Amino acid sequence: MRKKILVVLKGYPRLSETFIAQELLGLEKAGFDLTLISMRRPTDKKRHPVHDEIKARVVYLPEYLHDEPLRVLRAFFAGIRKPGFKPLLKQFWADLKRDITPNRVRRFGQALVLAHEWPDNGEWLHAHFIHTPASVTAYASIMTGIPWTCSAHAKDIWTSPDWELSEKLDRARWAVTCTRSGYEHMRDLASVPDHVHLSYHGLDLARFGPFAGAHSDRDGSQASDPVFLLSVGRAVEKKGYDVLLKALALLPADLHWRFTHIGGGDGLAKLKGLADTLGIADRITWKGALAQEEVLSHYRQADLFALACRVAADGDRDGLPNVLVEASSQRLPCLSTHISGVPELLTDGENGFVVPPEDPQALAVALERAIRDPALRHRLGDAAERRVREHFDHHSSIRQLTRLFEEQWQKEEQWRKSA
Residue 402 bridge partners (DSSP): none
**Percent residues over pLDDT 90 in the chain:** 88
Render pLDDT for 298-334 as a digit per residue (tens, 0 to 9): 999 999 999 999 999 999 888 899 999 999 999 999 9
Render pLDDT for 116-174 as a digit per residue (tens, 0 to 9): 999 999 999 999 999 999 999 999 999 999 999 999 998 899 999 999 999 999 999 99
Give 15's pLDDT tier (boundaries 50, 70, 90): confident
Render pLDDT for 16-33 as a digit per residue (tens, 0 to 9): 888 899 999 999 999 999
Rg of the chain in Å (alpha carbons): 23
d(CA 130, CA 153): 8
d(CA 88, CA 106): 14
**Percent residues over pLDDT 70 in the chain:** 100
The residue ranges of DSSP E strands in 199-301, in sequence order, are 227-232, 257-262, 284-288
What average pLDDT score do residues 344-356 get? 97
Domains of the chain: 5-202+393-418 (3.40.50.2000), 227-391 (3.40.50.2000)
- Give the strand pairing for 5-9 and 284-288: unpaired
H/E stretch holding 151: strand 148-151
Q: DSSP character for 130? A: T
**Which among 164, 163, 204, 166 has a CA at the least distance from the CA of 54?**
204
Q: What is the mean pLDDT of the chain?
A: 95
d(CA 385, CA 109): 46
The crossing angle, in degrees rounded to 10, of helices 69-80 and 102-117 is 70
